[in-house]
């Protein structure tokens, strides 16, 4: 069934009745942040099983089997499947038709359409919650930051909520990371709340280098690999996490994909930019990008960025090298 954020949050914090959570839409970081809420509810000892779309396509019964299996350690168990698409419909059908599935399942499907079979299947099932995830902006992002601050035992003052939301570009995962640093600095927790003001935020140096990342992303989108190499060096020198700018790049590509779809449907570029509220200083660059990036190429690029993010987050990875390689490859493509 279709759910809103409040319903999903309540179900994640007290899992039991919901067999499957489907998070679809371009905000993959937001979807993963929702999944982390389930992990916290189940406790640090809970066993997590990670799957992906390719696995579910080759073995559709795997999802139901994992949802019914007992934990090796006798405790809580849950399944998280990322990078899911329409290839996983058969696996979800098997899960929903299974008689017993005691372990909750989270599917993160950033590329599926709301009119696709996977979403339709989830909406029709009473023990499934489906939520469309879109990157929050403006006041909504600030409200999310304020909520995360309070959950961490912090009482935000001054411009703390706004600054964290702006610095993270609305990315919930990055907001949560910065808030965790702030809570640690102030020794705050839900059972010992502490005030958090701008001075505390300044003290931990919560500056994600959004402007610097913006220049690198502009170089990628415009196809300027030489400029990109310089910007990547600056990002590394500034200590900006590749996860932050990879997610910022993914949001930019997703936005271009939405505009490209409107253009391909017959709408004029000027009308499309107005519809999507493109800032006037970015109109020229956006017009050029829409001419350079056809829909199919945007889809491939977005998947490459998400693949680079997952690889960068994996244990024992090559870190910045993986992200830089993916970015330079995109910028050099003609």
Q: What percent of the chain has pLDDT over 90?
A: 46
* Element holding 277 (H helix, E strand): none
316 vs 53, residue with greater confidence: 53
Quick one: pLDDT at residue 212? 63
Q: What is the pTM of this model?
A: 0.59
Pick the closest to residue 18 from 28, 32, 8 (CA basis): 8
* In contact, 119 and 112? CB cutoff 8 Å: yes
* Tens digit of each residue's pLDDT (9 = 90 or more) over 54-88: 999 999 999 999 999 887 777 889 999 998 999 99
Q: Where are the beta strands (DSSP E) in 74-116?
A: 77-82, 105-109
* In contact, 233 and 206? CB cutoff 8 Å: no
133 vs 170, residue with greater confidence: 133
Burial (Cβ within 10 Å: 0-12, 13-18, ≥19) of residue 260: buried
Pick the closest to residue 53 from 313, 306, 261 (CA basis): 306
Pick the closest to residue 104 from 23, 24, 16 (CA basis): 16
* In contact, 232 and 324? CB cutoff 8 Å: yes
* In contact, 66 and 48? CB cutoff 8 Å: no
Quick one: pLDDT at residue 132? 92
Quick one: pLDDT at residue 282? 85
* Tens digit of each residue's pLDDT (9 = 90 or more) over 194-217: 999 988 887 775 454 555 688 899
Provide the pLDDT confidence category of residue 266 given band limits of 50, 70 and 90.
very high
230 vs 101, residue with greater confidence: 230
Average confidence score pLDDT of the chain: 87
Strands 77-82 and 105-109: parallel
* In contact, 23 and 106? CB cutoff 8 Å: yes
Residue 16 has pLDDT above 70, yes or no: yes
Q: How far is CA 140 from the centre of its chain?
A: 16
Delineate the domains of the chain, giving CATH numbers in brackets: 5-132 (3.40.50.300), 138-203 (1.10.8), 210-332 (1.20.272.10)
Quick one: pLDDT at residue 135? 75
Provide the pLDDT confidence category of residue 117 given band limits of 50, 70 and 90.
very high
178 vs 305, residue with greater confidence: 305
Provide the pLDDT confidence category of residue 26 given band limits of 50, 70 and 90.
confident
């Amino acid at each position: 069934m279709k759910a809103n954020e409040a319903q999903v949050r309540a179900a994640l914090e007290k899992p039991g009745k919901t067999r499957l959570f489907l998070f679809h839409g371009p905000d993959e970081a937001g979807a993963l942040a929702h999944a982390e809420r389930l992990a916290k509810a189940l406790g640090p000892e809970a066993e997590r099983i990670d799957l992906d779309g390719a696995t579910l396509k080759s073995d559709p019964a795997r999802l139901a089997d994992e949802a019914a299996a007992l934990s090796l350690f006798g405790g809580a168990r849950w399944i998280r499947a990322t990078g899911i698409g329409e290839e996983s419909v058969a696996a979800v059908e098997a899960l929903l038709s299974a008689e017993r599935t005691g372990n909750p399942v989270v599917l993160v499907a950033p590329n599926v359409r709301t009119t696709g079979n996977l979403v339709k299947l989830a909406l029709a099932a009473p023990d499934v919650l489906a939520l469309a995830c879109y990157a929050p902006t403006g006041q909504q992002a600030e409200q999310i930051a304020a909520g995360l601050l309070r959950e961490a035992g912090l009482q935000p003052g001054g411009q703390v909520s706004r600054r964290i939301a702006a610095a993270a570009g609305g990315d919930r995962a990055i907001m949560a990371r910065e808030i965790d640093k702030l809570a640690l600095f102030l020794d705050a927790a839900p059972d010992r709340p502490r005030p958090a003001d701008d001075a505390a935020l300044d003290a931990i140096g919560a500056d994600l280098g959004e402007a610097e990342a913006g220049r690198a992303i502009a170089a990628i989108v415009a196809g300027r690999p030489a400029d990109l190499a310089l910007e990547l060096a600056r990002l590394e020198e500034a200590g900006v996490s590749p996860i932050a700018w990879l997610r910022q790049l993914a949001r930019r590509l997703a936005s271009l994909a939405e505009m490209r779809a409107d253009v391909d449907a017959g709408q004029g570029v000027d009308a499309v930019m107005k519809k999507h509220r493109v800032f006037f200083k970015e109109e020229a660059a956006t017009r050029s990008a829409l001419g350079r990036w056809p829909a199919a190429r945007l889809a491939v690029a977005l998947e490459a960025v998400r693949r680079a993010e997952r690889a960068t987050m994996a244990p024992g990875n090559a870190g910045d090298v993986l992200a830089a390689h993916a970015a330079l490859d995109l910028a050099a493509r003609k």
